[in-house]
Structure 1
């Protein structure tokens, strides 16, 4: 389900970004035998409690279920020292034609501790290299799709340098990078994974 607040957002490049994504999918379908289609996204930070000091599994202002004769003795999210970030890499099973689904494939989720393993363009590239190296066949063409966050924004020189190094390390023939326009991250197929992750994390302190 797309957040209602995103429907009120618009961007001057929304049409062009959607068109480029469509052309990219058509390219992947046409050259599916030599192409790998990957969607990436980071989930919101997950706060972690400490031994003897659990943390409520909901954000501030939300309600939780408590037993009739029990008290809610847990900390809120403002009193945590540890947090994890979940990085999702979605390797799409490219359909035979454009009528097929781009929401089938293999999902890989990486956990990073935010203090000692902060997210960066280099870390994402290394994680993706490990993911694709485990695939049965490494294809010479890769298509990447992600949002415009600071770790993936292809307009940033540091991201361009990392992607160039990734291209050379993977010995690719072609690397195609496309990102969503601002306020339109819901277009990313990797966002479909987040609801399942939310279910898995529900009630975790």
Structure 2
């Protein structure tokens, strides 16, 4: 998700459709990291009620949230993602997805990431933050998974 500088009075919304084969590296590491904005995109997959077991029941039309950080002042780390998770559970747009009818975080959390070092479950900091969420919110299970190496460009 490239983010450019806004050109006042020069931009208009445009809807485009392109069909092409994705051929991106695992991560597009920034050339000038200290001068870029770093987006972290979170989206909820919603399973339609009464449709569990059917692949078509899983939709990608749930709420989304984008946290944007300055590469000059901060970075994307396991800690920033943990902070973002705590923010998500307070947002009204995510309430039906993350919380049950009593206002508690649902007992099972699934996190799909692109496998970067700031969110890959192979790294101790990511595991430590997952354990913290598990204990703090009295979860029954938390699953963090990634695509196979070299396949993050295809992460839905």
Q: CA deviation at 1:84?
A: 0.7
CA distance in 1, matches of 2:106, 2:128: 22
Q: CA deviation at 1:43?
A: 8.2
Q: Which runs of 4+ in 1 moved over 6 A?
A: none
Specify the alignment match of 2:84 in structure 1: 127
Distance 1:180 1:81, change over 3 A: closer
Q: CA deviation at 1:140?
A: 1.3
Specify the alignment match of 2:71 in structure 1: 114
Is the CA contact (8 Å cut-off) linking 1:151 and 1:159 kept in structure 2?
Answer: yes
Distance 1:115 1:93, change over 3 A: same
CA distance in 1, matches of 2:22, 2:42: 25
Specify the alignment match of 1:5 in structure 2: 23
Which protein has the bigger helix share? 1
Cα shift readout 1:19-77 (whole Å, capped 9, x = no counterpart): xxxxxxxxxxxxxxxxxxxxxxx9876xxxxxxxxxxxxxxxxxxxxxxxxxxxxxxx8
Alignment of 1:73-152 (within 5 A): 82-95=35-48, 96=51, 97-134=54-91, 135-136=94-95, 137=99, 138-152=105-119
**How many corresponding residue pairs?**
123
Q: CA deviation at 1:152?
A: 1.0
Larger Rg: 1
In the alignment, structure 1 segments of 5+ residues that lack a partner are 10-41, 46-76, 190-205
Is the CA contact (8 Å cut-off) linking 2:22 and 2:154 kept in structure 1?
Answer: no
Specify the alignment match of 1:67 in structure 2: none
Task: Give the match's secondary structure for 2:81.
Answer: helix
Q: CA deviation at 1:115?
A: 2.6
Distance 1:81 1:113, change over 3 A: closer
CA distance in 1, matches of 2:85, 2:66: 10
TM-score (norm 1): 0.52
Q: CA deviation at 1:177?
A: 1.1
CA distance in 2, matches of 1:118, 1:109: 14
Q: Which has the higher contact order (CA 8 A, sep 6+)?
A: 1
Q: CA deviation at 1:101?
A: 4.1
RMSD (Å) for aligned C-alpha atoms: 2.8
In the alignment, structure 2 segments of 5+ residues that lack a partner are 1-18, 100-104
The equivalent position to 1:156 in structure 2, one of 123, 131, 135, is: 123
